Amino acid sequence: MKNTPFLKFHEALGARIIPFAGYNMPVEYAGITEEHVTVREKVGVFDVSHMGEFWVNGPRALDFLQYITTNDVSALTDGKVQYTCFPNGKGGIVDDLLIYRFNAEKYLLVVNAANIEKDWDWCVSHAGRFGIEAGPGKDLHNASEWTAQLAIQGPLALQAMQKLTEESVTDMEYYTFKVLTFAGIEKVIFSTTGYTGAGGCEIYVRNEDAPRLWEAVFKAGEEFGIRPVGLGARDTLRLEMGFCLYGNDINDTTSPIEAGLGWITKFVPGKDFIDRELLLRHKEEGTERRLKGFVMVDKGIPRQHYEVVDAEGNSIGEVTSGTMSPMLKQGIGMAYLKRNFWKTDTEIFIRVRGKDLKAKVVTLPFYKKH
């Protein structure tokens, strides 16, 4: 197992450490519900150094990215971030990711921790078509091993982080980034992105600057009630927002259209991306199943792989993610459902240990800030 540069801090704080995506990662500190509420109401810090970072440079960087991702990369301007996915050539998804545009010939891709090797091989296999060389010091290179990342999330996050830089960050728009001096560390990538729906930022530094970053962030956030948060609450937070998790809600067999990711699948003129024709057909003709959110009407907690049935007990789908929402105090989940069961308020049943518990289809997100 690999360790992130923050492991000693997690251990000192008494975190429960588990192996995740090849790393020793903190799953919880004080408890998932407590940590979840901290992020919704104040500010919480996640170690996300296990994520992957690939740089793509050169005059054909844009052409390459337009080909291997579904979203329209040409719509990005300097300092903007885009959510997208890699289609796999068979109508499925290799991974979902973020693209950061530094300039017309310089981009950063941030990919899921469990898929770093798979994504890297996928990018390399298509780079040659655009004359892009891959490897250390080349136009396409993998910086995952020496990049550390913290996600500081919550309504008070930017206010707290403003204390550590002279550049204005509290007024940054969602999905933008700046390269700045932060906590005395130069060339920090500071982006207003996240996976919680609670606002905040994600901060990238070199591994050697990680301890300094951690200490500065916690000192600055002290007056705002800052706390460390583990992977457990990261999952419940993203699920309350209806954000997809790779491996649960999307994978190599799910199309972006089925997954409700049509909004990141752009069929603009001149964008000839992998699976374009197939995905266009999915969009125009519709699909047999669709990822939908649901809330439990009967008492119960839905879990991944639980069967979904109709009132007669006929199988109509499968749960991909489920939990007890800490904010709603109600069971929530996402499931791929057959046609005719997609409408909001449609009654469905989740088979929990042999019992069919009533639930209803809802529009996402589950949790809306008041």
Coil, strand or helix: which one is 183? coil
Q: Give the number of domains in the chain.
A: 2
pLDDT tens-digit series, residues 173-210: 999 999 999 999 999 999 999 999 999 999 999 999 99
Give dist(CA 67, CA 72) in Å, integer.
10
Nearest to 31 by CA among 15, 43, 44: 15
Boundary-marking domain end, from 287, 303, 335 = 287
How far is the C-alpha of 232 from the C-alpha of 312, rounded, in Å? 35
Same-domain status, 306 and 295:
yes
Question: CA 174, 291, 67: angle at the middle one, nearest 5?
Answer: 60
Q: Which domain holds residue 98?
A: 1-287
Question: Same structural domain for residues 61 and 187?
Answer: yes
- Answer yes or no: do 294 and 257 share one domain: no
Q: What value does the mean pLDDT of the chain take?
A: 98
- Which positions ≥6 away from 334 have C-beta within 8 Å? 239, 242, 244, 249, 291, 292, 293, 294, 319, 320, 321, 322
Same domain, yes or no, for 33 and 108?
Answer: yes
Segment 104-117 mean pLDDT:
98
Which residues fall within 8 angstroms of residue 271, CB to CB, at 6 or more apart?
A: 66, 72, 74
pLDDT (0 to 100) of residue 95? 98
CATH of the domain at 312: 2.40.30.110
Place of tokens 């709603």: 328
Is residue 306 domain-shared with residue 190, that is, in the same domain?
no
Q: What is the pLDDT of residues 258-281, one digit of tens each?
A: 999 999 999 999 999 999 999 999
Band (248; pLDDT cuts 50, 70, 90): very high
Residues 271 and 338 placed together within one structural domain of the fold = no
The answer on 107 and 91 residing in a single domain is yes
Look at residue 109 in the predicted model and tell me its pLDDT.
99
In the 3-class helix/strand/coil scheme, how is 294-321 assigned residue by residue?
Answer: EEECCCCCCCCCCEEECCCCCEEEEEEE
CA distances from 22 to 2, 14, 98, 309 (A): 6, 21, 21, 36
The pLDDT value recorded for residue 370 is 59
CATH code (residue 65): 3.30.1360.120
Angstrom distance (rounded) from CA 289 to CA 119: 26
Last residue of a domain, one of 246, 265, 287: 287
pLDDT at 12: 98
Which of the four pLDDT bands, split at 50, 70 and 90, describes residue 369? confident
Boundary-marking domain end, from 287, 318, 349: 287
Burial of 218: CB neighbours in 10 Å, binned 0-12, 13-18, 19+? middle
Q: How far apart are CA 59 and CA 203, in angstroms?
A: 27
> Are the C-beta atoms of residues 291 and 335 closer than 8 Å to each other?
yes
Angle at 236 between CA 306 and CA 178, to 5 degrees: 135
Outline where the chain has alpha helix (H): 7-12, 32-41, 61-68, 116-127, 157-161, 210-221, 231-240, 276-285
Average pLDDT estimate for 309-332: 98
Banded model confidence at residue 119, pLDDT cuts 50, 70, 90: very high
For residues 266 and 355, membership in a common domain is answered with: no
> Is residue 310 domain-shared with residue 346, that is, in the same domain?
yes
Q: What is the mean pLDDT of residues 298-317?
A: 98
199/270 same-domain check: yes
Q: For residues 247 and 308, state if they share a domain.
A: no
Confidence tier at 54 by pLDDT (50, 70, 90):
very high
Does position 72 have pLDDT exceeding 90, yes or no?
A: yes
For residues 282 and 248, state if they share a domain. Answer: yes
Q: How many CA atoms within 13 Å lie on the side-chain side of 81?
A: 22
